[in-house]
Amino acid sequence: MLQKMYDWIDERVDITPLWRDIADHEVPEHVNPAHHFSAFVYCFGGLTFFVTVIQILSGMFLTMYYVPDIENAWRSVYYLQTQVAHGQIVRGMHHWGASVVIVMLFLHTLRVFFQGAYKKPRELNWMVGVLIFFVMLALGLTGYLLPWDNKAYFATVVTLQIAEGIPVIGEMAKTLLNGDPNIVGAQTLARFFAIHVFFLPAALFVLMAVHFIMIRKQGISGPL
Amino acid sequence: MCRGGVNNVREKAQVSRRQFLNYTLTGVGGFMAAGMLAPMVRFAIDPVLQASGTEDMHAVVEVSEITTEPQRFDWTIKQVDAWYTSDVIHSAWIYKNEKDEIIALSPICKHLGCAVSWASNEEYPNEFYCPCHGGRYYKNGLNVPNTPPNAALDLFQKEVKDGTLYLGAQCQTL
């Protein structure tokens, strides 16, 4: 049945070459943990991607209940955690995944750094990777405010003070992030939500696509 | 399945190493995907699976105030909408019929949901009238034939306790 459906589509649009390009490629011996166990360090990039997928999925589901409004944000989070089936698990996945993704990203960065895998011709991909790292940190920062509890609120107050510390444009940067020159409130939450669920993920998808296309183009760096 | 003979060994090796790894990976991957998605899907479909509570009865009016002429009475319900609690006003047209039974009709027109009221149109002094498209109902709630509505007004579930009328959910009638 599945094979027939696949064949039907394949006959018309010829997806097998596409699929081959994405999934069917050789894994060199030096990156295969089955050959050298120490090659597990090559898994961190893939694990980062895996956790990112969990973050995207759990985030999508959380927005079914969450509202980015100062009156209701905390209450909606409380409701989804206490009243909705598996709410604790889904929010837990997003909460812990947010930390795990940073850890994995960092381990991946360490591996690339200490193996010197960033060297020519892969400098450009290192730069894209650094951008992905920044986007991830920004996702963590903006997501932190969304539950709108005391911890979230005061963490954001500190964030805004850091932004204010930038020479010359500090004041402007703070207002831009905050949505208001003084009040950390309604506009701040709406902004952080928009940045967290639309702008940063869009940037992340583009950067990840570039990252992966470059890996495929340049291949995995050789053994040490 | 008795094949026997020299071919036996070769027949058993039908699953190649590649296939075996494929199946294993698909199985493990499927298991992980299912483990990930199961809580999220259950989370999303929760509203469908929530047990629908029976609506409480609310005190509306003293029975002594009810006449044979339909009167509109309003009462307030505390509505809990997930994390948002609000006061919602409900209305009913209430009267006693010839048999001294209390009738509590919903004011919501069965055509497109406007609010009907008793004798609000001078041409139809003994009918419920809907101002939106001229829908009409007799005193007992039945829709007047050849006017827009095609069903009778809903009735409220009712209960009289200690001289007070309590109303609950609306239900289709007649």
Q: What is the pLDDT of residues A54-80, one digit of tens each?
A: 999 999 999 999 999 999 999 999 999
Of the segments A11-15, A20-24, A132-136, B67-71, which one has the largest average pLDDT value? A132-136
First to last CA, chain A: 46
> What is the spatial distance between Cα A216 and Cα A212, in angstroms, rounded to a whole number?
6
- Confidence (pLDDT) at B170: 78
Strands B84-96 and B71-81: antiparallel
Percent of chain A with pLDDT strictly greater than 70: 100
Of B37, B44, B49, the CB nearest to A64: B44
Residues of chain A in contact with residue B40, where contact means CB-CB under 8 angstroms, are: 57-58, 61, 86, 90, 93
What tokens were used for A2? 């599945």
Q: Is residue B3 part of a domain?
A: no
Please state the rounded mean pLDDT for residues B144-157: 91
| pLDDT confidence tier of residue B121, bands split at 50, 70 and 90 | confident
> What is the spatial distance between Cα A168 and Cα A202, in angstroms, rounded to a whole number?
29
B44 touches chain A (CB under 8 A): yes
- Confidence (pLDDT) at A224: 82
Write the CATH number for B124. 2.102.10.10
Q: Is residue B1 part of a domain?
A: no
- Confidence (pLDDT) at A222: 87
> What is the spatial distance between Cα B28 and Cα B17, in angstroms, rounded to a whole number?
16
Query: What single-letter amino acid sits at B129?
Result: Y
Please state the rounded mean pLDDT for residues B1-29: 75
Range of the domain at A87: 42-218
Q: Average pLDDT over chain B, rounded to whole?
A: 87
Q: Average pLDDT over chain A, rounded to whole?
A: 94
> Degrees (nearest 5) of the Cα angle A142, A144, A149?
130
| pLDDT confidence tier of residue B7, bands split at 50, 70 and 90 | low
Of B43, B49, B82, the CB nearest to A61: B43
Question: Has residue B25 got a pLDDT over 50?
Answer: yes
> What is the spatial distance between Cα A83 and Cα A105, in angstroms, rounded to a whole number?
34
Q: Is residue A1 part of a domain?
A: no
Percent of chain B with pLDDT strictly greater than 90: 49
| pLDDT confidence tier of residue B8, bands split at 50, 70 and 90 | low
- Confidence (pLDDT) at A129: 97
Q: Is residue B52 part of a domain?
A: no
Read off the DSSP letter of residue A214: H
Of B40, B82, B84, the CB nearest to A61: B40
Range of the domain at B34: 8-46
> What is the spatial distance between Cα B133 and Cα B136, in angstroms, rounded to a whole number?
9
Contacting residues for A220 by C-beta, under 8 A, at least 6 apart:
A28, A31, A42
Which of A19, A65, A81, A91 best probes binding to B when mutated, by most B CB atoms within 10 angstroms?
A: A65
Tell me what percent of chain A is helix, strand and coil, each rounded to the nearest 5. 75, 0, 25
Indicate whether B42 and B62 sit together in one domain: no
Domain count for chain B, please give it: 2
- Confidence (pLDDT) at A109: 97
Write the CATH number for A53. 1.20.810.10
- HSE, CB side, 13 Å, CA atoms: give it for residue A188: 27
Please state the rounded mean pLDDT for residues A186-191: 96
- Confidence (pLDDT) at B1: 44
Angle, helices A123-145 vs A150-164, to 10°: value is 130
Q: Is residue A130 part of a domain?
A: yes
Q: Is residue A105 part of a domain?
A: yes
Burial class for A169, CB neighbours closer than 10 Å (0-12, 13-18, 19+): exposed
Q: How many CB atoms lie within 10 A of CB B83?
A: 18
> What is the spatial distance between Cα A92 and Cα A148, in angstroms, rounded to a whole number?
16
Chain B residue with minimum CA distance to A66: B83
Whether A89 sits inside 8 A of B43 (CB atoms) is yes
- Confidence (pLDDT) at B104: 92
B39 touches chain A (CB under 8 A): yes
- Confidence (pLDDT) at A145: 96
Chain B residue with minimum CA distance to A54: B36
- Confidence (pLDDT) at B12: 63
> What is the spatial distance between Cα A140 and Cα A57, in angstroms, rounded to a whole number?
16
Question: Has residue B128 got a pLDDT over 60?
Answer: yes
Which of A55, A86, A89, A96 best probes binding to B when mutated, by most B CB atoms within 10 angstroms?
A: A86
> What is the spatial distance between Cα B20 and Cα B17, in angstroms, rounded to a whole number?
5
B90 has which bridge partners?
A: B75
Q: Check the CA dihedral B132-B135-B136-B137 and report its sign.
A: negative
Q: Is residue B2 part of a domain?
A: no
Domain count for chain A, please give it: 1
Whether B39 sits inside 8 A of A78 (CB atoms) is no
Please state the rounded mean pLDDT for residues B4-10: 51
Is residue A92 a contact partner of residue A81, using CB atoms and an 8 Å limit?
no
Of B40, B49, B83, the CB nearest to A90: B40
- Confidence (pLDDT) at B79: 87
Contacting residues for A180 by C-beta, under 8 A, at least 6 apart:
A187, A188
Query: What single-letter amino acid sits at A6?
Result: Y
Could you give the ipTM of this predicted complex?
Answer: 0.85
Indicate whether B80 and B113 sit together in one domain: yes
> What is the spatial distance between Cα A208 and Cα B115, in angstroms, rounded to a whole number?
56
Indicate whether B26 and B63 sit together in one domain: no
Q: Check the CA dihedral B32-B35-B40-B42 and report its sign.
A: positive
Please state the rounded mean pLDDT for residues B81-100: 90
Rounded to 5 degrees, what are φ and ψ at B86? -145, 165
Indicate whether B29 and B115 sit together in one domain: no
Please state which of the ranges A15-19, A43-47, A188-192 shows the lowest mean pLDDT. Answer: A15-19
